[in-house]
């Protein structure tokens, strides 16, 4: 529905070119830590996230996530008032936990702190202990606490910390029946990606514990009646059994460079060997994941993946001239950028700008391993970057393509460079949760979209109006 007011004439982004500033962040390319933690808790069966902070924290995060996932996103809040900030948040957290239990009957509550509760120094583990002591054991859901002040790291730190906290609190040590054979810690991927990874593990006959698994909770079907908590998610008993698994696969190139992660914790505490791989984006890293699954299961790679791989390679051959030597700018979470860069290296796309809002300082060394040495000189790597900085670099590099989430649209539009939307958030297109990035099929989807964006640009620019391209 278009408006018939003069708004469209004045509606231009051209007058809004950001200027790089040293002391302020302009148009952030990151979100705050509690968002990442909320996403993890949404991926646990019967899980309800509870933010210990102001009402706005949960409401803003809910709205941001809803706009991407288009699913109900109940995130509770202890709702600080002035009194709370002065006297501490114990009473509010207590009440919030009670109310969440009464309304949602959750299987797990994930309490994530915020900058407010961290700054006033609330002792959240103690509050939780007090709460649990007053509740009869039968009515007591497990409560996991994760420290996520928004002044420390980005949403990705919040995400990984929450995964670590959940396993740290719930996974039991060796002993008992090994119901889970492999733990899969995928990182921040789309629901479609999570489904694909689960299918992969199942194809090897492996019982996998995928954490988080919001493939159903945040990409579910229609409801005949309202669900207090959307069905799906990682079953609690699987998380408890994670310490008995034969291996933990943790995905993410830069995460693999971290010393302590959820996977290393499990290795140290329960002796579950950690296999730390890059995101399986593209051929080689999908090969590596399938290889790992083959070794863990003792079974060969199922035929279906040979077929998918064959189709992918055939697609890459068919379209190789569209993409070879093309120059692209990538931005987003460090691990997604690294994964995309690795795939691009396989098809001849030069990642001339690789940017992340996170300041993990792991992206550069990782990219130098993944991208051919001859391209290093022409590659600008930005960490802790905002969109003003990214835009300056992209404007200088003049790539043929920009690849990243919706928040780079204004930049792409100003620079007149096509944007291929991937990752999170997708706020300006349908289907964000269904975008497939991983596996051979994900690579084929990505390849088609990259090549088609280039073809479309050439087609539109041609005065001839070709119907064959």
Of 314-373, which residues contact another protein (CB under 8 A)?
Answer: none
223 preceded by a cis bond (ω within 30 of 0): no
For position 55 contacting another protein by CB under 8 A, the verdict is yes
Helical ranges in 171-244 per DSSP H: 191-203, 236-240
67-75, 273-281, 287-295, 394-402 -> range binding another protein (CB under 8 A): 67-75
Q: How far is the CB of 306 from another protein (least distance, A)?
A: 32
Query: HSE of 301 in the Cβ direction (CA atoms, 13 Å)?
Result: 13
Contact between 63 and another protein per CB under 8 A: yes
469 binds another protein (CB under 8 A): no
Measured between its terminal Cα atoms, the distance across the chain in Å is 33
375 lies in the site for another protein, by CB under 8 A: no
Q: Is 179 in the site for another protein (CB under 8 A)?
A: no
456: helix, strand or coil: helix
DSSP secondary structure of 56-105 = HHHHHHHHHHHHHH-S----EE----HHHHHH-SHHHHHHHHHHHHHHH-
Task: Give yes or no for residue 433 binding another protein (CB under 8 A).
Answer: no
In this chain, which stretch among 14-22, 184-192, 341-349, 389-397 interacts with another protein, using CB under 8 A? 14-22
From the list 31-39, 123-131, 175-183, 305-313, the region that binds another protein by CB under 8 A is 31-39
Number of residues interacting with another protein: please give it, by CB under 8 A. 87
Query: What's the closest the beta carbon of residue 372 comes to another protein, in angstroms?
Result: 34
Binding segment toward another protein, per CB under 8 A, in 29-37, 130-138, 318-326, 450-458: 29-37
Which of 36, 37, 45, 62 is close enough to bind another protein by CB under 8 A?
A: 62
**162 part of the interface to another protein, by CB under 8 A:** no
- Confirm or reject binding of residue 223 to another protein (CB under 8 A): yes
Residue (of 439, 431, 444) closest to 198 by Cα position: 439
**Residue from 31, 166, 363, 444 in contact with another protein (CB under 8 A):** 31
Task: Return the residue of 38, 113, 114, 286 that touches another protein, per CB under 8 A.
Answer: 114
Decide: is 79 part of the binding site for another protein (CB under 8 A).
yes
Residues paired with residue 381 on neighbouring β-strands, in sequence order: 354
Cα–Cα distance measured from residue 369 to residue 345, given in angstroms and rounded to the nearest whole number? 11
Q: Does 377 bind another protein (CB under 8 A)?
A: no
147 binds another protein (CB under 8 A): no
> DSSP label at 148?
-
Distance of CA 275 to the CA centre of its chain: 19
When binding is defined by CB under 8 A, the residue of 38, 84, 375, 380 that contacts another protein is 84
Secondary structure (DSSP) of 225-288: S--SS-S-SB-HHHHHGGGG-SEEEEE-TTGGGSSS-HHHHHHHHH-PPEEEE---BSHHHHHH
Do the beta carbons of residue 437 and residue 423 sit within 8 Å?
yes
Pick out residues in 393-432 that bind another protein (CB under 8 A).
407, 410
- SS3 state of residue 176: coil
> How far is CA 386 from each of CA 55, 290, 376, 389, rounded to the nearest angstrom?
26, 36, 22, 6
For helices 334-347 and 363-370, what crossing angle results, to 10°? 10
Q: What angle do CA 104, 59, 149 make, to 5 degrees?
A: 95
Tell the smallest beta-carbon distance from residue 427 to another protein (Å): 9
Q: By CB under 8 A, is residue 107 in contact with another protein? A: no
**Region binding another protein by CB under 8 A among candidate stretches 3-11, 299-307, 329-337, 431-439:** 3-11
Based on CB atoms, which residue is closest to another protein, 70 or 198? Answer: 70
Rule CB under 8 A: say whether 168 interacts with another protein. Answer: no
Taking CB under 8 A as the rule, does residue 23 contact another protein? yes
For position 60 contacting another protein by CB under 8 A, the verdict is: yes
| Binding of another protein by 34 (CB under 8 A) | yes
């Amino acid at each position: 529905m278009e408006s018939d007011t003069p708004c469209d004439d004045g509606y231009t982004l051209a007058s809004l070119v950001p200027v790089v500033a040293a002391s302020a962040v302009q148009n952030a390319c990151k979100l705050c830590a509690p968002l990442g933690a909320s996403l993890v808790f949404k991926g646990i069966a019967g899980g309800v996230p509870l933010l210990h902070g102001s009402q706005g924290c949960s409401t803003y995060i809910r709205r941001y996530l809803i706009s991407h996932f288009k699913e109900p996103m109940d995130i509770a809040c202890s709702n600080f008032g002035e009194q709370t900030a002065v006297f501490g948040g114990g009473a509010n957290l207590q009440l919030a936990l009670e109310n969440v239990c009464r309304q949602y009957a959750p299987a797990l509550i994930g309490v994530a702190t915020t900058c407010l509760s961290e700054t006033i120094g609330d002792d959240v583990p103690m509050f939780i202990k007090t709460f649990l002591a007053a509740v009869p054991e039968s009515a007591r859901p497990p409560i996991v606490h994760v420290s996520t002040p928004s002044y420390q790291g980005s949403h990705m730190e919040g995400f990984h910390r929450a995964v670590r906290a959940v396993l740290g609190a719930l996974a039991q040590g060796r002993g008992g029946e090994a119901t889970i054979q492999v733990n899969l810690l995928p990182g921040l991927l789309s629901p479609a990606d999570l489904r694909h990874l689960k299918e992969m593990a199942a194809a090897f006959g492996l019982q996998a514990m995928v954490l988080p698994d919001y493939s159903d909770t945040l990409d579910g079907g229609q409801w005949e009646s309202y669900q207090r908590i959307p069905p799906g998610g990682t079953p609690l008993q699987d998380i408890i059994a994670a310490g008995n698994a034969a291996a933990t696969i943790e995905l993410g190139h830069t995460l693999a460079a971290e010393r302590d992660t959820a996977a290393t914790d499990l290795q140290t505490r329960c002796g579950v060997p950690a296999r730390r791989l890059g995101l399986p984006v593209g051929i080689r890293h999908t090969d590596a994941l399938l290889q790992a699954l083959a070794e863990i299961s003792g079974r060969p790679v199922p035929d279906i993946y040979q077929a998918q791989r064959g189709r992918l390679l055939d697609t890459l051959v068919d379209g190789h001239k569209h993409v070879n030597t093309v120059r692209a700018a990538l931005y987003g979470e460090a691990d997604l950028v690294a994964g995309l860069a690795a795939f691009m290296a396989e098809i001849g796309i030069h990642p001339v700008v690789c940017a992340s809002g996170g300041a993990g300082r792991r992206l550069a060394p990782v990219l130098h391993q993944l991208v051919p040495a001859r391209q290093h000189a022409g590659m600008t790597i930005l960490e802790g970057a905002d969109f003003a900085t990214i835009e300056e670099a992209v404007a200088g590099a003049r790539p043929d393509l920009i690849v990243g989430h919706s928040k780079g649209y204004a930049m792409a539009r100003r620079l007149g460079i096509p944007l291929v939307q991937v990752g999170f958030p997708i706020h300006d297109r349908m289907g964000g949760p269904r975008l497939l990035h991983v596996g051979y099929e994900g690579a084929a989807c990505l390849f088609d979209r990259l090549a088609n964006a280039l073809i479309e640009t050439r087609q539109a620019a041609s005065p001839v109006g070709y119907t064959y391209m």
